[in-house]
Amino acid sequence: MTTTSSPDAIIDGLVYLGRSHYGWSHTADELIAGLNRVHIGSAIAVAAHPTGADFQAANDQLLAAAGGHRQLIPVARIDPWAERPGELSRVVRAGAKGVFLHPAEEHFRINDQVRVRPIMEAAAEHDVPVMIAAGFHLMAEPLQLGEAAGWVPELPVVLTNGGQFNISGGSQFDVELIMEQNPNLHVHTTAMYRQDFLERVVTRRGPDRLLFASAAPLFTMEFERARADLMHVDATQRALIMGGNAARIFRLGAAA
């Protein structure tokens, strides 16, 4: 197993923070302890779906946590049903490095022209990337995700868990298709049991299209780190996957 040499260079592409309406919680201290335990330098953090659907408060709590922990990189969670005028602009001005959309937990179709497209286009106007919880039946399936990415062809769009949830493996072909059609699409390594799919992303689409992510605490950080470490890629490719791509897409530090 080949690993990235410098833990500080490793960026977890997605972690959740806060108390979720769905019954779990993840504090900043727990998150930092997890990162340190598996030798990860920093993490892209998004708010859990908040009880009461108060996304403004959840984003403010996330920004405050990131302000107190240099290892946390905040990305604002936006609900298309509850979007307040100016909220996206407000959180970006306050330090959010991108926008996170979760079609399943907020119950919308990612290719909704009325509710979602204006958010995607607003993110493009602010020049911040969009991350989407991907693969959910009828809400965020690969071809729907490809349509949404096509609205903002110059903006990086990052899909969680390889752009799919599909034990049979058939959706991999749809993800490969939308990645071919939309050069702005990128995918996370999380939960992808097919190592050959991850390696095909690297060989066919390029190492700049794949990002390591754990999605902790919904997935196990140690296991997801091992999944990424076990990929058969060279040192240059690994450096991009394990942190370089996230640093570029979210404009972090010297890589911005």
Residue 60 lies in a domain: yes
Residue 20 lies in a domain: yes
Residue 160 lies in a domain: yes
pLDDT digits 0-9 by tens, 132-155: 999 999 999 999 999 999 999 999
pLDDT of residue 253: 78
Averaged over 215-240, what is the pLDDT?
97
With a pLDDT cut of 90, the percent of the chain lying above it is: 88
Q: Indicate whether 249 pLDDT > 80.
A: yes
pLDDT of residue 83: 66
CATH number for the domain harbouring residue 186: 3.20.20.140
Residue 88 lies in a domain: yes
pLDDT digits 0-9 by tens, 54-113: 999 999 999 999 999 999 999 999 999 986 668 899 999 999 999 999 999 999 999 999
Q: How are beta strands 130-132 and 157-159 bridged, if at all? A: parallel
Residue 2 lies in a domain: no
pLDDT of residue 207: 98
Distances (CA, A) of 118 to 41, 95, 143, 232, 249: 34, 21, 19, 39, 21
pLDDT of residue 86: 84
Range of the structural domain that residue 53 is part of: 7-255
The set of residues, in sequence order, having a beta carbon less than 8 Å from that of 86 and lying 6+ positions away, is: none
Mean pLDDT, rounded, of the chain: 94
pLDDT of residue 5: 46
Phi, psi (5° rounding) for residue 247?
Answer: -60, -40
Residue 17 lies in a domain: yes
The pTM is what?
Answer: 0.94
Residue 1 lies in a domain: no
